[in-house]
Amino acid sequence: MDIWEKITKTVSEAADYTAREASKLTGIAKLKYKISAAKARLDNLYASLGRLKYDELKGNVPSGTTYDELVAKIDKVKEEIDRYENELAELKNERLCVSCHATIGIDMAYCPRCGAKQPEPEKKDEGSCCCNTGEGADCCCGDDAECCEDCCDVESDCCESDTECCCDGSGTCETGDAEDGSCCCEDKTE
């Protein structure tokens, strides 16, 4: 590999990394906005609940909305906020304490704030990728082309035309065209 190919590869990897991180930051910003909007709806529901109780105490007849309806709506919005906060923590490679909801490291066994034991972190399913996962992973077809770009985040040189990669996830070629393990991603429409 000559110097220009190395430079091109390095620049390409840096651009891919930057794009992934920018996408992650965008996701974080969207989740923060959703949390903020849900908290505003929650405040409005609390205010409605307070108005309903106030009207009841003053002897005014409620206008059709019951406590149970408002409480159900509040519970639904609180669940939505919890879901968004868990997604946000996951994007930041963190998680929330099961007891006090403090943000903690993903691998922590106990919460440093309240001391509660945490469940084992869920293992992410890597799917049926036969590649060594991670940046710069080698293709299972053996020629350093990446057939599994969706799960390994590496740009594909293997399946450029509108064909699907023929790797079956076990490191062997599904079509049987490449007994030696070389990349078999030819145009399947022939």
Q: Are 17 and 135 in contact (CB under 8 A)?
A: yes
List CB contacts of 106: < 8 A, sequence separation 6 or more.
93, 94, 95, 121
Mean pLDDT of all residues in 171-176: 44
pLDDT in tens, 79-99: 999 999 999 999 999 999 999
Q: Report the pLDDT value the prediction gives residue 10, as an integer from 0 to 100.
A: 92
Mean pLDDT of all residues in 157-163: 40
Share of the chain above pLDDT 70, in %: 63
Residue 181 has pLDDT above 60, yes or no: no
pLDDT in tens, 101-132: 899 998 999 999 999 999 987 765 544 444 44
Q: Report the pLDDT value the prediction gives residue 144, as an integer from 0 to 100.
A: 40
**Burial environment of residue 95 by CB neighbours within 10 A (0 to 12, 13 to 18, 19 or more):** buried
Q: Are 88 and 32 in contact (CB under 8 A)?
A: yes
pLDDT in tens, 21-76: 898 899 999 999 999 999 999 999 999 999 988 988 888 876 677 889 999 999 99
- Rounded CA-CA distance 56/110 in Å is 45
- Domain locations in the chain as residue ranges: 3-92, 124-190
For 136, half-sphere exposure in the C-beta direction (CA atoms, 13 angstrom radius) is 4
Q: Report the pLDDT value the prediction gives residue 31, as an integer from 0 to 100.
A: 94
| pTM over the 0.85 mark | no
